[in-house]
Amino acid sequence: MKIQKIIYLFCLISFNSLSAQESCLSDKNLKQIDLAWEKAQMNSNVDFFKTNLSKDFVWVHNNAKTIDDKKAVINRAKRYVKNKVKYSYARTTENVTTIIFDKTGVVNGFTVVQKTVDAKPVIYHFMRTYAENNGKCVLIANHTMAVDKSKW
């Protein structure tokens, strides 16, 4: 009987520890994950894309001229690595906000992309949707749109 109580107490403590773990869906975590996405874009980080994009990931680019799935993002990154292409010299984000609802988080703001040292920066508005899956946030959708800097 005493052993059963000890086992019960152990299980109760273990359950409470698991349920007390912080969700990946917090403002701070989402912003960190999103910065990692930007860094992965700049460095063509194939491993990041393989592990952090959902299997049904979709990316709608400017005016829907291009719509990528996970495979397209990974293949482009592999091609850039193979050909030693650096897509951008610098990427910074501004005015980043998050919205969290249940097991879904949306991160939106602006990314300033400088393709080369001397290039004029291009500004994109982005909206990325993350979902919590087994305690990990994965990127399920991304929408980017170039914006006119004079109107921003």
Domains of the chain, earliest start first: 23-151 (3.10.450.50)
- Burial of 137 per CB tally in 10 Å (0-12, 13-18, 19+): buried
Look at residue 117 in the predicted model and tell me its pLDDT. Answer: 84
Look at residue 40 in the predicted model and tell me its pLDDT. Answer: 96
Beta bridge partners of 128: 107, 142
What percent of the chain shows pLDDT beyond 70? 84
Indicate the length of the chain as a whole number: 152
Name the pTM for this structure: 0.81
DSSP 11: H
Q: State yes or no: pLDDT of 5 exceeds 50.
A: no
